[in-house]
Chains A and B, each alone.
Chain A
Amino acid sequence: MVVRCEDVWREVSNYLDNEVQPELRAAIEEHVRGCKRCTAVVDGTRNVIQIYGDERMVEVPLGFSRRLHQRLEGNVSGSRRSFFGWLVAAAAAVLVAGGFEAARSSVLGRPGLRSEHARASDHVPPDMMVVVAEDGKTFHVAGCPFIHDKSRLRTITAREAEQQGYAPCIRCMKKYLDAGALARSDDPVDEVAGSEDPVRKSE
Chain B
Amino acid sequence: MAASAGSLENPAQQDYEQRLIQRIGDGEHEAFYQLIRPYERRVYAAAFAILRNEADAEDCAQEAVLKAFKHIRQFRAEARFSTWLIQIAVNEARMRRRRERADFVEPIDKEKNEEGSYTPRDFADWREIPSEVLERKEVREKLAEALGSLGQIYREVFVLRDMEQLSIEETANVLGISTASVKTRLLRARLMLRDLLAPGLGGAWSSRLSFAKGTKPW
Contacts and interface: CB of A to CB of B under 8 A. Distances in A.
A13 B84 CA distance: 25
B149 to A, nearest CB: 14
Interface in A1-23: 6, 9-10, 12-14, 17-19
A80 interface: yes
A187 B30 contact: no
B129 A10 contact: no
Contact of A9 (B37, B118, B168): B118
A192 B75 contact: yes
Contacts of A78: 29
A151 B208 CA distance: 15
Interface string A150-194: 111000000000000000000000000010011011011111111
Given A44-B198, A194-B73, A198-B87, A52 B23 contact: no
Contacts of B214: 149-152
Given A47-B129, A61-B58, A203 B19 contact: no
Contacts of A119: 37-38
B5 A89 contact: no
Interface in B141-184: 143-144, 147, 158, 162-163, 165, 168, 176, 183
Contacts, number: 240
Given A47-B126, A85-B29, A198-B74, A12 B187 contact: yes
A164 B202 CA distance: 38
Given A9-B118, A76-B30, A198 B131 contact: no
18 contacts: A17-B5, A17-B6, A19-B1, A48-B197, A52-B147, A53-B165, A57-B143, A58-B163, A85-B30, A149-B213, A184-B16, A185-B16, A185-B19, A187-B23, A194-B73, A194-B75, A196-B76, A198-B76
4 smallest beta-carbon distances between A and B, as pairs: A202-B95, A185-B16, A13-B187, A194-B76
Interface of B: 1-2, 5-6, 10, 12-13, 15-16, 18-19, 21-23, 25, 27-30, 32-33, 37-38, 40-42, 44-45, 54, 58, 61-62, 65-71, 73-77, 79, 84, 87-88, 91-92, 94-95, 98, 117-120, 123-129, 131-135, 140, 143-144, 147, 158, 162-163, 165, 168, 176, 183, 186-187, 190-191, 193-194, 197-198, 201-202, 213-215
